[in-house]
Structure 1
């Protein structure tokens, strides 16, 4: 994972130059998250669509996916190379010039939103792997307009909601009714507060699972009622259980101290 320059830190939550060679064709599951996802593949276009929506599947040389409570499916031929960035809802305004809500539930090509970045796929193809992430970050910084920010109260609400603060407490903190908060949050990111919290919690649990935490511990630290609740939410949002996802992503994982193979209930 590459370092994000300080001026872009509020807008780019992660950037990864990836080179994955599995040797066999397959499908990768892109989990819902509280960030927009920008992927710039190198070598082959990205073959992607929303899970359960085959009509959304297409091949792109740049892919920008908005916030969604459904998983994406990425089809590959055994080699995946490129750069992937996660953009915060504030980053949608500051770097792309549109509210995140304008892209919610959509998978589009980057030039459709920012024509000035249409050159990036070709430029990356001619750039050494070690420099690709920097090329993308500098290009975003050049077109970005940091003054395009969400309302201060909405920005604070989004930050608090993604941390798991109860909706009522967030509404009180920013001085809005729950109904007004819901309207403003949906207008900014495309998801209602509860839905945003749900995908953000899934994202946090994904990171904890990657770190090797036990399923029961992940449920406790990420705000699920119990392990069964964790499993139900994963099945509903990701389309699979946490154990299935771990085996897909890390096929040589045997056990997480009572984690893998120890899920509770349907």
Structure 2
């Protein structure tokens, strides 16, 4: 989140804690954030191919969707490809969870398919949201917090409704190819018509399959930019027609130029907090007839 000094100083603003052991739930990544400074924080969110849950463990987190004027204080959920979303506050402490949209469908319900909206976790989980927050606040360590959160997510994942196997397959293929896919071919592989895939995928993932592929490719490109690679090289190596195409796509998703996105504080902490991307969920293989293959 934005702090005094340059955007790349943002990583130094946060005390970031990651789980000491690998998680047991595929498609789930967690990290703990505690502000090192009492100064106000204001962070523009860079779109990411996962649904983000921010569990507020302090008293100062505000998530604002400037595109529609909506603001949520406390624990919030940010859908895929958010535009104009910012995190603000002072003395922030929170547990952030990134969920593959395949997992988010079961954990959060079909409302996970906002495609970028911000909603309160209380609206999705009711009284359970407050119960989970209180247990997390009372925990004696971050590892205990991670274990509690994982147990809650696992319970909800088991009780929730899974996405169609064909939808999970198309998402997994899209991620594996870093967005360089032809959706019509994926529909054929899954044994579905293009129309059916578009409808089910949008309902269960939150975006149409073509926009989802663009988001995955965008994420790969902006992390290359943040690593210091030039825009022309990134465009050529990530499947864009040319540098102008990359510029248009980055501006469309992030509302900023490639140069500005490369310096975004949200990306500055990614290597520290999210070494294992949440959206890399294994897809279930699909037979030509559209049914999951037996392993």
Structure 2-normalised TM-score?
Answer: 0.73
Look up the match of 1:94. Answer: 106
| Alignment partner of 1:151 is 2:170 | no
**Is contact 1:4-1:15 (8 Å) kept?**
no
State how many pairs are aligned: 245
Q: How far 1:28 moved relative to its partner?
A: 0.6
Counterpart of 1:177 (choices 188, 193, 197) is 193
2:43 partner SS: strand
1:57 partner SS: strand
4+ residue runs of structure 1 moved beyond 4 angstroms? none
What stretches of structure 1 of length at least 5 have no aligned partner?
253-266
Q: Over aligned residues, Cα RMSD in angstroms?
A: 2.7
Q: How far 1:195 moved relative to its partner?
A: 1.4
Q: Give, in whole Å, the separation in 1 of the partners of 2:110 and 2:102.
A: 9
Q: How far 1:40 moved relative to its partner?
A: 0.9
Look up the match of 1:85. Answer: 97
Q: How far 1:105 moved relative to its partner?
A: 3.6
| Alignment partner of 1:161 is 2:179 | no
Structure 1-normalised TM-score?
Answer: 0.80
Look up the match of 1:264. Answer: none
Change (3 A) 1:147 1:95: closer
Larger relative contact order (C-alpha < 8 A, sep ≥ 6)? 2
Counterpart of 2:235 (choices 219, 230, 238) is 219
**Is contact 2:45-2:86 (8 Å) kept?**
yes
**Is contact 1:16-1:84 (8 Å) kept?**
yes
- Aligned ranges 1:1-266 → 2 under 5 Å: 1-2=18-19, 3-6=21-24, 8-9=25-26, 11-12=27-28, 14-22=29-37, 24-53=39-68, 55-60=69-74, 62-77=75-90, 79-98=91-110, 100-101=112-113, 103-115=114-126, 116-131=128-143, 132-145=145-158, 148-162=161-175, 163-164=178-179, 165-249=181-265
